[in-house]
């Protein structure tokens, strides 16, 4: 998400170290705070970005191993948010003890990330303005679990809203069903294939008849296609 | 009172005091979970009790259910921004405005219901470190019902004899909630409210489904239960031990 306006030049910067589907989701949610982002799935590149951009916020997925944990180590004034996946054996306690300023489990809801990131930045003296809605190519996403498409307001369940954010954030990219499941379902980790497909179909029905977002089933996952703005 | 915590360079305190302004079933769950960190807890739910506890008992941190006891928020002093004790707020509401308002009212951190047990230990740990610059020792393993060993850090639950159970975080929370209220019947509504919040309808079979799955993993037979009894028409009860005690024992 490159900066393109004068106001954005002064916006706080966040570096995101996570796998691509998760990074895209985080970058989209951080738009609610007006935060510019640089994302990578490479530990080496993450260190380079931290050194060159001096970000106000570092979001790092602990599941990426020791290199992710090293990024959290003390000695930095920046705000650090560690993402943990309990299914992957990570723990909030370990992340806090490792120096994280705040911890959030994956999956998370968009509003949880936005509110936590805003609060964490405030602790470090960085003020942001949290905007509830952001527009992406004809879809207005909301932290409050609805979407605007054209003149319609569509109420969404929490998993549907998370799913919509994930799909829009990764528009044009294939997302594996496991990623959909891991990134959208709360602590109800027993949700399996039928539930995921049911949620996708439910979201399609909610958005119909608009063609603003089309969800294609492809080999190994789904791809969201957004209509040109 | 201060000691060194070998895991990092912050000084450690042995028994921090946590004030709970939370309803009974949830408070019991939180209290049991906090045994992973040797906290001393006090449970209050009226304004007078809160004010008295803050001034006389002098807790290191307060945990408050803002959905049920939001009116007692002010009695806690306003949080770290006002130089008072840190406040950790619990909410079941999914409204962004509720969370933002909680921070504006002085909450220093928020736990959303449903939560994982790990968070209930980790967030007070982090808040006390932020407010006082000290760490609290973590007790990774505790026993539930004398037979079930839980390791918070490794995220494992074992039965006596060493068999590891593959519990999901929510199954682990359900187990703690039942064990925390051992000997007492917990209705489906109470279990729903404490673990899942208000997102689920009362008619939902989510509680029964998880109880069934938990029993399978515990090897518990519903007809002759060793751990979880069904109380027809009322709910579920974690069996107290033979002496009628809650059978909860720290393993440290």
What pLDDT does A177 receive?
85
B127 inside 8 A of chain A by CB: no
Q: List, for residues A155-200, the tens digit of each pLDDT value.
A: 998 888 999 999 999 999 999 988 888 888 755 555 566 778 888 8
What pLDDT does B250 receive?
40
On chain B, the residues whose CB falls within 8 A of the CB of A189 are 168-170
Q: Say what the ipTM of the complex is.
A: 0.83
B155 inside 8 A of chain A by CB: yes
Per-residue pLDDT of chain A (229 residues; tens, 9 = 90+): 444 555 566 789 999 999 999 999 999 999 999 999 999 999 999 999 999 999 999 999 998 888 888 888 754 558 999 999 866 667 888 899 888 999 998 888 899 999 999 999 999 999 999 999 999 988 999 999 899 998 899 999 888 899 999 999 999 999 998 888 888 875 555 556 677 888 889 899 988 888 888 999 999 899 999 987 6
Phi, psi of B96 (to 5 degrees): -55, -40
Give the Å distances, CA to CA, from A206 to A65, A153, A214, A228: 38, 10, 12, 20
**Strands, sheet with A152-155, edge to edge from the N-terminal-most edge strand:** A133-136, A139-142, A146-149, A152-155
**How close, in Å, is residue B129 to chain A by CA atoms?**
10
**How close, in Å, is residue B110 to chain A by CA atoms?**
9
**How close, in Å, is residue B48 to chain A by CA atoms?**
31
**How close, in Å, is residue B125 to chain A by CA atoms?**
8
Q: Find the DSSP H helices in chain B.
A: 24-33, 47-52, 66-69, 96-104, 117-132, 169-180, 188-191, 206-218
- Which residues, numbered 208 to 247 in chain B, qualify as contacts with chain A under a Cβ-Cβ cut-off of 8 Å? 213
Q: Find the DSSP H helices in B21-139.
A: 24-33, 47-52, 66-69, 96-104, 117-132
Residue B90: CB atoms within 10 Å: 26
B200 inside 8 A of chain A by CB: no
Interface test with B, best of A33, A89, A90, A96 (most B CBs within 10 A): A96
Task: Using CA coordinates, name the residue in chain B closest to A110.
Answer: B96
Query: Across the interface, which of B96, B119, B125 has its CB nearest the CB of A144?
Result: B96
Domains recognised in chain B with CATH numbers: 14-132 (3.40.50.2300), 141-250 (1.10.10.10)
**How close, in Å, is residue B108 to chain A by CA atoms?**
9
A6/B83 Cα distance (integer angstroms): 38
Interface contact A97-B173, CB threshold 8 A: no
Interface contact B95-A144, CB threshold 8 A: yes
Residue B133: CB atoms within 10 Å: 9
On chain A, the residues whose CB falls within 8 A of the CB of B112 are 112
> Terminus-to-terminus CA distance in chain A, angstroms?
17
Residue A208, phi-psi category: left (phi > 0), alpha (psi -120 to 50), beta (remainder):
beta
On chain A, the residues whose CB falls within 8 A of the CB of B8 are 97
Q: Which of B210, B218, B216, B213 is nearest to B194 (CA)?
A: B210
Task: Using CA coordinates, name the residue in chain A closest to B108.
Answer: A119
Residue B235: CB atoms within 10 Å: 19
B236/A215 Cα distance (integer angstroms): 43
Q: Are the C-beta atoms of B228 and B185 separated by less than 8 Å?
A: no
Q: Are the C-beta atoms of A17 and A46 separated by less than 8 Å?
A: yes
Task: Using CA coordinates, name the residue in chain B closest to A158.
Answer: B94
pTM: 0.84
**How close, in Å, is residue A89 to chain B by CA atoms?**
6
**Strands, sheet with B228-231, edge to edge from the N-terminal-most edge strand:** B185-187, B235-238, B228-231
Tokens 């069996």, residue located: B239
On chain B, the residues whose CB falls within 8 A of the CB of A144 are 95-97
Mean pLDDT, chain B cut into blocks of 10 residues (252 residues total): 44 83 85 86 94 96 93 93 95 85 93 84 94 87 79 79 78 86 88 71 73 90 89 89 41 38
- Which residues, numbered 164 to 193 in chain A, qualify as contacts with chain B under a Cβ-Cβ cut-off of 8 Å? 186-190
What pLDDT does B215 receive?
92
Instruction: Measure the CA angle with vertex B124, ends B121 and B129; round to 5°.
Output: 120
């Amino acid at each position: 998400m490159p900066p393109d306006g004068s106001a954005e030049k002064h916006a706080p910067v966040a570096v995101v170290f996570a796998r691509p589907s998760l990074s895209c989701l985080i970058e989209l949610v951080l738009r609610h705070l007006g935060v510019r982002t640089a994302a990578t799935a490479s530990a080496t590149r993450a260190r380079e970005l931290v050194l060159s951009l001096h970000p106000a916020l570092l979001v790092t997925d602990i599941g990426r191993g020791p290199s992710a944990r090293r990024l959290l180590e003390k000695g930095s004034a920046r705000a650090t948010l560690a993402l943990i996946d309990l299914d992957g054996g990570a723990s909030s306690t370990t992340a806090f003890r490792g120096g994280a300023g705040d911890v959030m489990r994956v999956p998370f809801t968009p509003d949880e990330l936005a509110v936590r990131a805003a609060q964490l930045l405030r602790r470090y003296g960085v003020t942001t303005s949290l905007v509830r809605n952001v527009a992406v190519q004809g879809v207005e996403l909301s932290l409050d679990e609805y979407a605007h498409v054209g003149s319609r307001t569509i109420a969404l369940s929490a998993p549907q809203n998370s799913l919509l954010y994930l799909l829009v954030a990764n528009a044009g990219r294939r997302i594996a069903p496991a990623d959909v499941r891991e990134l959208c379902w709360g602590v109800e980790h027993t949700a399996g294939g039928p539930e995921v497909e049911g949620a996708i179909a439910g979201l399609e029905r909610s958005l119909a008849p608009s063609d603003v977002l089309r969800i294609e089933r492809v080999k190994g996952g789904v791809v969201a296609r957004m209509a040109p703005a | 009172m201060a000691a060194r915590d070998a895991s990092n360079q912050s000084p450690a305190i042995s028994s921090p005091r946590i004030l709970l302004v939370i309803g009974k079933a949830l408070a019991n769950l939180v209290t049991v979970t906090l045994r992973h960190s040797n906290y001393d807890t006090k449970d209050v739910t009226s304004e007078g009790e809160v004010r008295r506890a803050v001034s006389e008992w002098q807790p290191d941190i307060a945990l408050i259910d803002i959905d049920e006891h939001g009116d007692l928020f002010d009695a806690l002093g306003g949080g770290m921004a006002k130089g008072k004790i840190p406040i950790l707020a619990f909410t079941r509401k999914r409204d962004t405005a509720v969370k933002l308002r909680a921070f504006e009212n002085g909450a220093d951190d928020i736990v959303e219901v449903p939560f994982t047990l790990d968070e209930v230990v980790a967030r007070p740990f982090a808040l006390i470190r932020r407010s006082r610059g000290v760490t609290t020792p973590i007790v990774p393993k505790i026993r539930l019902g004398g037979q079930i060993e839980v390791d918070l850090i490794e995220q494992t639950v074992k039965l006596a004899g060493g068999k590891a159970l593959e519990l999901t975080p929510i199954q682990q929370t359900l187990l703690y909630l039942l064990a925390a209220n051992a000997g007492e019947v917990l209705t489906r509504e109470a279990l729903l409210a404490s673990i899942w919040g208000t997102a689920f309808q009362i008619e939902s079979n989510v509680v029964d489904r998880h109880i069934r799955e938990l029993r399978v993993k515990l090897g518990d037979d519903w007809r002759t239960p060793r751990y979880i009894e069904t109380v027809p028409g009322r709910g579920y009860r974690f069996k107290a031990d033979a002496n009628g005690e809650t059978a909860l024992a720290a393993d440290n």
